[in-house]
Structure 1
Amino acid sequence: MDKGMRREIHLVALTMTGLGSIIGSGWLFGAWKAAKVAGPAAMVAWILGMAVILLIGLTYAELGPMFPRSGGMVRYAHYSHGSFVGFLSGWANWIAIASVIPIEAEASIQYMSSWPWHWAQWTHHLYVNKTLTPPGLLLAAILVFIYFLLNYWTVKLFARANTAITVFKFIIPALTVIGLIAAHFDTHNFTQYGGFAPNGWASVLTAIATSGVIFAFNGFQSPINLAGEARNPSRNVPLAVIGSVLLAGVIYLFLQAAFIGSMPGNLLSHGWASINLKSPFADLALALNVNWLAIVLFLDAFVSPSGTGITYTATTARMVHGMEANGYFPKVFGRIHPRYGVPRAAMWLNLVIAYIFMLMFRGWGELAGVISVATLISYVTGPIAVMAFRNMGDHVKRPVRIPGMSVIAPIAFIFASLILYWAQWPLTGEVIIVIIIGLPVYFYYTAKAGWRGFSEHFRRGLWLIVYLLWMALVSFLGSGKFGGIGVLPYGWDMVVVAVSALVFYIWGVRSGFPKPNFPEGENPQLVDAE
């Protein structure tokens, strides 16, 4: 266990942490965004997205109990392949997850800007032309600081607050589904207005990556990042990951079906792509004269995103703590408060990063796709790492051994690569460049350490940098349906991605160390995980 951290989070709280991260602003906006891109076929996008995340989550469900450390998502690749892969993976994950905190606050303010009451007309000026105004940004900044304070004194306060909020999150989506279907539900919406897939099946695939589907499920990693503070992590971490993904998947499917079926025909006269709603579910409730539901949704627009914001404030601090343990950040960010058991310096760093992202991206839609792509880049190391550890034999203790992992891991890697491609050029290339830009930080700390072991770590991590550059090239040359220049025709482009992904998977697994590469003086497997 991480020195100074306390194992106080039980299975229910851990599962609620994952579910609380998944059911955030994604449910308030995801159904609308996915329907705009894919029409009624958005239902398929949610099913495919859930299946892929579950496959990826299973690889991390085995890794989490193996190394029950806080901030585990940024540690595993370092243990299996060394500092080069570990840094790229951790950097991508940290950038993606840290930017979720301001997005959740922005989502709350965006919903607030649609308040219909006469006395609240001033709120209409908080979000204008798809961006938050200065007053809107100020309110969002205050919300982020509240998330910060709820995590500042104790992990137990965070766990209790999040569990209470997550129970509320179950109730509100259920009321939304029931309220909308009771008010109006037209099954013809699933076949009229361009058919079930009005923009073609390529749009369904793109919706997975850019419409909030992958973004919504990102929260599965929260129980993993809190493994160092979980009771009985070998049992509870896998159960929390699988349980939170499945429960959230069911909720999202019902919400998407209710959104599609209850949409009034006059709003669909120009097709699904023409639907422009400021506060999607609340605006829909008002259009159907379900005013009580609109009021509940405006209230929940603070509760659901705030629950996720509180959770990510906790987990990102543990990620920075993990990055410091790997040698990528100054030691001050690894210090745990002796009384409260939380990494306060890391929390302050993430607060600053959150405010920077808030100034750069002033609306929910701007960052959802970016976060999804960046997180996918970090996810691809999970399937590689879990099989690399299996190749280490008795050098690694495996409290959990998930059946069929030799099949699950390559399939997870291939589908993660496909979703990365479906995100469309130039977004794929832009995010890959942002990840690579972080390398000077790695080289600085490597040089500070005297380049000790650099050549070995670089050789074992070469597959990842070549993979990223290859994915950017394929995205550029790919089908016009995914934003490319059309050198690779539609259909064959995905064959190229899948086949090449399998090659990189084999290369990546074989590049792992023969035994775990723990930082000097560290061996998390020697610590009593109970």
Structure 2
Amino acid sequence: MNPSDIAHGWSHLNFNSPFADLAIALNINWLVIVLYADAFVSPSGTGITYTATTSRMIYGMEKNKYMPSIFGKLHPIYGVPRQAMIFNLIVSFIFLFLFRGWGVLAEIISVATLISYITGPITVMTLRRTGKDLYRPLRLKGLNVIAPLGFIFASLVLYWARWPLTGQVLFIILIGLPIYFYYQAKAKWKGFGRNFKAGVWMVFYLLAMMVISYLGSDKFGGLNVIHYGWDMVLIAMVSLVFYVWALKSGYQTEYLKDAKKINSQLLNGQSEAAAGKE
């Protein structure tokens, strides 16, 4: 590193890979090798994890009658949904074509993953009401406070992702609605009314977040119609409204009834095991 590079301050330095570039500047070659190796290994581990989880998600969607039957087949020996894995590979290629560059793709995936976390507080609080008789070894105290705060913070992080990234990701997610309607029509709209009523809050939530992000502070890429500070207050208030709406929309589905049967079997198995030890 030449002294002239920092003559006007550290802020004028532009490192694409800050740690690696700094190590190169300091001639710490072994650290450079470690950092670049880690940059390859770490995403690979994440990729392997997502290869398994996303294929199972597609497999589960087929079992719920929202994907073609070909994705519900398992390999006779290894028990993995290979067709679902191939489908995910094709989708990955499409994303690489549309969002060229690792940085852009990482941003898209991060925001999309964040949206899945938003459903967590809703799910656990709904289960507290609809599945209160289920046996569970762990019961988190203070969840009545933690859950709404978690929903608000997740909404804020989604907003902080900046426009237009938030709008792009939310639009991609809303593209799934036509697919949902197609399979509902294929099932002759069986149970559609109740299911849609229970989940329509999510559609309006995503639209509301998109509008607020677009009109929000210019610090987060918006038009600055809603000024900095007030935008986050608005996010918190809107999040609480949707949180209450979502909780009131939840109901006991047939899947929960199946879960109760499995839960009872596990509880009986533990009781028998405890009795056997005695």
Q: Please indicate, yes or no, whether the TM-score normalized by the shorter chain is above 0.5.
A: yes
Q: What code does the residue aligned with 1:448 have?
A: K
Q: Does 1:485 align with 2:245?
A: no
Question: Quick one: distance in 2 between partners of 1:455 and 1:315?
Answer: 30
Find the counterpart in structure 2 of residue 437 from structure 1.
Answer: 175
Which residue of structure 2 aligns with residue 460 of structure 1?
A: 198
Q: 1:299 to 1:268 in 2, by over 3 A?
A: farther
TM-score by length of 1: 0.47
Structural mapping, 1:141-290, within 5 Å: 266=5, 269=8, 271-272=10-11, 274-290=12-28
Residue of structure 2 equivalent to 1:349: 87
| 1:516 and 2:253 matched | yes
Q: CA deviation at 1:487?
A: 2.1
Write out per-residue CA displacement over residues 402-427 of structure 1, whole angstroms, 9 at most, x where no aligned residue: 22211111011000111111122222
- Tell me how far 1:311 sits from its aligned partner: 1.8
* C-alpha separation in 2, matches of 1:368 and 1:381: 21
The question of 1:362 aligning with 2:100 is answered: yes
Task: Name the counterpart of 2:130.
Answer: 392
5+ residue gaps in structure 2? Answer: 270-278
Q: Kindly state the Cα deviation for residue 442 of structure 1 after the two structures are TM-superposed.
A: 0.6
- Please say if residues 96 and 105 of structure 2, whose CA atoms lie closer than 8 Å, have aligned partners that are also in contact: no
Q: TM-score normalized by structure 2?
A: 0.86
- How far apart, CA to CA, are the structure 1 residues paired with 2:44 and 2:180? 33
Percent of pairs with identical residues: 57
Higher relative contact order (CA 8 A, sep 6+): 1
Does structure 2 retain, via aligned residues, the 8 Å contact 1:373–1:423? Answer: yes
- Residues 373 and 431, structure 1, Cα contact 8 Å, conserved in 2: yes
Matched residue type, 2:87: L
Pairwise CA RMSD of aligned residues? 2.3
CA distance in 1, matches of 2:31, 2:234: 47
The residue type paired with residue 250 of structure 2 is: G
* More divergent stretch after superposition (384-393 vs 395-404): 395-404
Question: Computing the radius of gyration over CA atoms, which structure comes out larger, 1 or 2?
Answer: 2
Cα distance in 1 between the residues matched to 2:7 and 2:50: 36
Of 139, 145, 149, the residue aligned with 1:411 is: 149
Q: 1:301 to 1:330 in 2, by over 3 A?
A: same
Q: Is the 8 A contact 2:163 2:221 kept in 1?
A: yes
Query: Distance in 1 between the 2:124 and 2:101 partners?
Result: 36
Q: Which amino acid in 2 is paired with 1:475?
A: S
Letter in 2 for 1:526: K
Residues in 1 aligned to 2:156 and 2:76: alpha-carbon distance in whole angstroms: 45
Query: Could you tell me whether the CA contact under 8 Å between 1:395 and 1:516 is conserved in 2?
Result: no
1:499 matched to 2:221? The reply is no
- Structure 1 residues 377 and 305: CA distance shift in structure 2, 3 A: closer
Match of 2:119 in 1: 381
Shift in Å at residue 336 of structure 1? 2.1
Distance 1:395 1:326, change over 3 A: farther
Seen in structure 2, the aligned counterparts of structure 1 residues 347 and 267 have a Cα distance that, compared at 3 Å, is farther
Deviations 1:481-509 (A, max 9, x none): 22222222211111111011111101101
Alignment-mate amino acid for residue 255 of structure 2? F
- 1:8 paired residue number: none
Displacement, 1:270? 5.3
Determine which of 261, 265, 274 is the counterpart of 1:526: 261
**CA–CA separation in structure 2 for the residues paired with 1:472 and 1:305:** 29
Where structure 1 has 5 or more consecutive residues not aligned to the other structure, the ranges are 1-263
Residue 331 of structure 1 and its aligned partner are, at CA, apart by 2.2
